[in-house]
Structure 1
Amino acid sequence: MPHRRAVAVIGGLALAGSALAACSAEDARTSITVFAAASLAASFDDIAEGFEGEHADIDVEPIVYDGSSTLATQIAEGAAPDVFASADEANMTAVDEFTETPEIFAENTLVIAVPQGNPAGIETLADLPGATVVTCAAEVPCGSASVRLLDLAGVELEPASLEQNVTAVLTKVSTGDADAGLVYATDAAGDDTVEAIVPEHADEVVNRYPVAALSGSDSPDAASAFVDYVTGAEGQQVLADHGFGAP
């Protein structure tokens, strides 16, 4: 009987040791939080998947997507992501006291998005006044780009609504709530419910996307690794596949 009890004790210790080893392995894993511009949603979801495939010890939490100005405001007010990817340089500059050195990783331009079939007959920026048109608000990167584009074309426009991110603009166009909207080329290309019209001066209004690790990150090595992946060959291929221009 004592022998059988000893075996039971040894077995129990083995099980406990296995459990401790499993816990230690779990504890060794690192997770990072990424804030990214709404226009990056599809590409960054793919990038996160590829990154995790190459870094088995790092988990990317579900990425927080929104207008860059909204995300920058949240960071300034105390939100603590590990990585921030903005759709323009201005919003990255607004939080430069919280970030490491940003790197430009992509470029994007604007198109006129219209519902399939283009029922309002929009062909150029000059056709937008008088139609129901939505754009991003001026403080949002796609909104400031829209203002510059319209100014270059000499078009005065009173949008039916001003949205806080490009996804909201595209949604109003795709559902037929708007005759047209100014969105990024990459967003229109990824939505088969809309058609894209490349307007004049589009190549003169180019948004450059910076990414940076946050200086207060609890996982600085993992955050830097994610930035390196975005700016490296694998991340750049994913971005190109989604229609982004190279920096």
Structure 2
Amino acid sequence: MSRFQMTKRIVFLTLMSVSLILVACGGTKEETEEVEEPKEPEVVKIYIKENLEGAFGEIVQNFEKEHEDIDVEPIFLSNDEIVQGVKNDEKGSVVFTTEDAVKELIEDDLVGVKDTKFLMMDELVLFTKHEDPDVQRVRDMDQSTRVAILSPDNYEEGKLSKSIFVDDEFEKVEDENFVIGDSAEDVIQDVMNNNAQVGVLYQSTIYNNEELKTLVRAPRRVVEPFIYQLGLVSKSDITDTERTLYDYLLSTEVQEILKNHGYVV
């Protein structure tokens, strides 16, 4: 082989090598330019007692910030609606409501006892206006004191509120002195507008209202506090997503949020 031929062959092989390298590099570039489609976040459903909407708005927002791959679907219902909704739902979920509703789900084998935790409680309190109240202390109350409560016909809270005044610690309030409200806001406004001297609602409802002050909590021998319980619904195997939300709801971060909304944790 002549020197020229050898040189030509070397040049050819060099060009071939360069071509192969360019092809290889080009293929790599095309591969790296392929963008994977983002995965849809997994959705976890949680049934929550309707009066907890304020606290859970903040809780859900914080959870989704920490877990961008999970979307929470909160469903706010009454206890009866929660139980029925869980029974009708084909998929698993998380529940956060009062212990009597969770107990019913346990009895129906929809929630395992080991997958439940008591999380917090709420209590009925007697309250007045913060400024210039007609009643400064419980002993200032008598049979003429007007008391604002939720409708006993429409709300269990109203029935329990009325039952407080048969206890020896409180003067019995005559039926005509109960001022009946159709909502918690009605009860608060009746106190603020002097239609009633005292109101009765759950502590969490008035906790952050600076215009109101608590006189006393309802005696537990008469009215038991609302105990709230967390549970995992196991229609099939509990998913990692459901377990992640469940564990987060047990965290100190969530406990602080609940405290800030007036719940006892």
- The bucket for the TM-score relative to the shorter chain is 0.5 to 0.7
- Are positions 1:211 and 2:230 aligned together? yes
The one-letter code matched in structure 2 to 1:45 is G
Aligned to 1:103: 117
Q: Deviations over 1:71-113 (max 9, x none)?
A: 3344446597722211x31122233323233210112211124
Structure 2 distance, partners of 1:76, 1:192, is 41
Contact 2:48 2:95 in 1 (8 A): yes
Contact 1:84 1:213 in 2 (8 A): yes
- Are positions 1:51 and 2:63 aligned together? yes
Aligned to 2:209: 191
Structure 1 distance, partners of 2:161, 2:119, is 21
Q: Call closer, same or farther: CA 1:240–1:30 in 2, change over 3 Å.
A: same
Gaps of 5+ in 2: 1-26
Give TM-score scaled by structure 1 length.
0.68
Structure 2 distance, partners of 1:225, 1:237, is 19
Query: More strand per residue: 1 or 2?
Result: 2
Percent identical pairs in the alignment equals: 17
The one-letter code matched in structure 1 to 2:120 is A
Aligned runs of 1:124-139 on 2, under 5 Å? Answer: 124=138, 131=146, 133-135=148-150, 137=152
- Are positions 1:60 and 2:72 aligned together? yes
- How far the C-alpha of 1:137 sits from its partner, in A, is 4.9
- How far the C-alpha of 1:209 sits from its partner, in A, is 0.9
Give TM-score scaled by structure 2 length.
0.64
Aligned to 2:21: none
Question: Bigger shift: 198-207 or 229-238?
Answer: 198-207
Contact 2:149 2:161 in 1 (8 A): no
- Are positions 1:82 and 2:82 aligned together? no
Q: Deviations over 1:207-240 (max 9, x none)?
A: 2210112223797322222221112222222222
Aligned runs of 1:1-247 on 2, under 5 Å? Answer: 17-18=34-35, 21-23=36-38, 25-26=39-40, 29-61=41-73, 63-76=74-87, 82-86=93-97, 88-96=98-106, 97=108, 98-101=110-113, 102-114=116-128, 117=131, 121=135, 124=138, 131=146, 133-135=148-150, 137=152, 142-143=157-158, 145-146=160-161, 149-152=164-167, 153=169, 155=172, 158=175, 161=180, 168-169=183-184, 171-176=185-190, 179=196, 180-199=198-217, 201=219, 205-216=224-235, 220-246=239-265
- How far the C-alpha of 1:42 sits from its partner, in A, is 2.6
Structure 2 distance, partners of 1:129, 1:74, is 44
Give the paired residue count.
Answer: 223
